[in-house]
Structure 1
Amino acid sequence: MTRKISLLVPLFNSSRYLDRLKHDIDHQTRPFDEVVMHDDGSTDDTIEKAAELGFRVIRGGPQKRQSHARNRLLAAATSSFVHFHDHDDSIHPQFVERMLTACSSNSVAICHFAKTTPSERFIFGHDFTNDYNLVFNNFVHVNAMVVCKDLARSVSGFDEDLTLCEEKDFLFKILRQGALVTIVPELLAEWRIQNSSFMSSQGWTGAALMLRRFMQNCLPNDSRETTELALEYALRSAWDYYYACPETIIELRQMFRYLSKHGLHPRNGLGKKSAVLIRSIGPVAALRLRRALSKNVFAIA
């Protein structure tokens, strides 16, 4: 059977990125079988530019963010496999060739990728495994995935209420659906974070809200091992958010209340001393005390 792959790209004020994207698409060693884009209510000449370059564009609007765009693209795709890609990120010339060889029905192929900020560059992938650690102890960007279309549709694509954690949520759902995971141990993708991105504008409080919604999607869960991984992730993230911004405590308190209501009590993930403290006074009070103590230590130092 010939494997076919669709490239699916959400657009929003993307005009300045389209020439480079066109270059990367045209220089694949094995071309995409289909390229479909979705415009999310751009206010510049994105639609005209995309048409000039020969791209097929689905018109959207008013703006409903990337998850909605990805779901509309998923519904329009005609190939057996799909690759969602951000408009401002490059595509390695051997991406299709390397990734398609790892694809099969009911599968997701995941490659190593670089995360680039205005000041730093990180490589994700050296510790990738093929289980739920991919979700809770790693991060996999959509730029680094090729997914069986039927599998993606079977979980209804992306949660449109999530503006962060949507990739984690999507990956979690397809793993729970029994997805076969193949790790392609090559650096084939890039994820660029820009200061103007919507992700940056949401702030820590917005991130805490998305964490709470993501946890509500994941838990309760039938698997004890998966539940423990999710609870550790919730506690580690709660500490990161609260330490960075005390105002996140409102959302975090609601998350812990939801978990407690379902008999779930995250204690592990911040060390043995913190686990004992959390058992004694609860996660919210423990986070506050831990932050106060760490601030005092740094002040003395």
Structure 2
Amino acid sequence: MKNTPLVSVIVISYNSSKYIIHTLESIRRQTYGNIELIISDDGSKDDTVEVAARWLEDNKGAFTATRLVVAEKNGGLPANCQRGFNASTGDYIKLIAADDILMPRCIESFMNTLQANNADFAYSAVEIIDEHNKVVGGDTSFYPSFFGTLTTKRKKEVFARYAEFLNTPTWFYTRALIEKVGGYETSYRILEDHILLMRVLQLDAKLVYVDQPLVQYRVHSHSSIAAHNKILLQELKRSRHEERWVHLNKWSIKNLLFMADDYLHYLFAPSKFRKFLYLTRTINPAFWMKLFIKNKANTPGVLKIKKMFG
């Protein structure tokens, strides 16, 4: 590693007392030495703040600096991210939910990758764990084999067509990049990653992928996303019009097919008309194209499909 600049690890918490110690311990075990730990709590109603404060007092010598920031009332995920960011001072930023886990070499690996590639933004493979810390899944993103090889212009177009998240829990980026995009979009309550990535792509930022799991993402019934599914669907609809479709050529048949598929998905997914949705997808080439792109095996047939529709 060329040098060891300060990295701010920002823990985003809300009613996280059950898992936050696991998260904090994973940060303490990092092999990278120069870490500022920020805990930003979004007005938890349980004892998350008390648990976090005790842990910080017991482990304050393990970090370059620590800070606990507590909101008086819940403001939503993007606002909590922005609050933590404002409290931080590091040149590099790693956000992590207070129920996820960083692998021991997470920060070191990301720093090596960004410095070696002179990049602004990195992401990695991810492991999915349950509430008992059991690994139940792995990397489901098809972008490492397809998205990562595209030009910036094509990345914007592909993401605008099909907003597959780039393993959001793993994101690692420079402070300067977040400042350039104006921070996190606090007019949303849940959807912080989708908006941020689209705006990052507008800056022609360099994105790099680390082909190993550096974060464990926890899936459980008490997560903030699971509890606000209706709000999430509404915000996905809003972002589709305000952030994604504005970058597509509306006269392109391929783009129109993607837009139709996307619209129908969010229109009917939460309702009793699911069967109608499935019917429309069987006659929509865009849906089948997604299936081919998701296939990571670059067989001649798959590569041909990617070339035709990508």
**TM-score (normalised: structure 2):** 0.71
- In the TM superposition, what whole-angstrom CA distance separates every residue of 1:235-282 from its partner, at most 9, and x where no partner exists? 434333344333799xxxxxxxxxxxxxxxxxxx946x4479xxxxxx
1:222 Cα offset (Å): 5.1
Alpha-carbon distance between aligned partners in 1 of 2:128 and 2:271, rounded to the nearest angstrom: 27
Q: Please tell me whether the aligned partners of residues 32 and 105 of structure 2 are also in contact (alpha carbons under 8 angstroms).
A: yes
- In the TM superposition, what whole-angstrom CA distance separates every residue of 1:171-221 from its partner, at most 9, and x where no partner exists? 111111121111111111122222122312233x43331122112331554
Aligned residues: 254
Alpha-carbon distance between aligned partners in 2 of 1:241 and 1:13, rounded to the nearest angstrom: 28
Matches within 5 A, 1:142-291: 142-203=168-229, 205-219=230-244, 221=246, 224=249, 234-246=259-271, 270=281, 273-274=283-284
- Name the % identity: 19
Matches within 5 A, 1:79-118: 79-104=90-115, 107-116=120-129
- 1:48 corresponds, among 47, 50, 59, to 50
Match of 1:72 in 2: 83
Alpha-carbon distance between aligned partners in 1 of 2:47 and 2:254, rounded to the nearest angstrom: 45
Alpha-carbon distance between aligned partners in 2 of 1:209 and 1:36, rounded to the nearest angstrom: 30
Q: Please tell me whether the aligned partners of residues 111 and 125 of structure 1 are also in contact (alpha carbons under 8 angstroms).
A: no
**TM-score (normalised: structure 1):** 0.72
| Paired AA for residue 52 in structure 1 | R
1:224 Cα offset (Å): 4.2
| Paired AA for residue 237 in structure 2 | R
Match of 2:165 in 1: 139
| Paired AA for residue 63 in structure 1 | N
Larger relative contact order (CA 8 Å, sep ≥ 6): 2
Task: Name structure 1 gaps, 5 residues minimum.
Answer: 250-268, 277-301
- 1:121 corresponds, among 133, 137, 153, to 137
1:109 Cα offset (Å): 0.7
1:72 Cα offset (Å): 1.2
Q: Could you say if the C-alpha distance between residues 199 and 231 of structure 1 is closer, same or farther in structure 2, counting changes exceeding 3 Å?
A: farther
Q: What root-mean-square deviation, in Å, do the aligned CA atoms of Structure 1 and Structure 2 show?
A: 3.2
Task: Name structure 2 gaps, 5 residues minimum.
Answer: 57-65, 149-154, 275-279, 287-310
Q: Which moved more, 1:107-116 or 1:127-136?
A: 127-136
Q: Please tell me whether the aligned partners of residues 184 and 196 of structure 2 are also in contact (alpha carbons under 8 angstroms).
A: yes
- In the TM superposition, what whole-angstrom CA distance separates every residue of 1:131-169 from its partner, at most 9, and x where no partner exists? 334673531243211111111122122222334442111
Give the 3-state SS of the residue equivalent to 1:35 in structure 2.
strand
Q: Could you say if the C-alpha distance between residues 43 and 213 of structure 1 is closer, same or farther in structure 2, counting changes exceeding 3 Å?
A: same
| Paired AA for residue 111 in structure 1 | S
Give the 3-state SS of the residue equivalent to 2:46 in structure 1.
coil
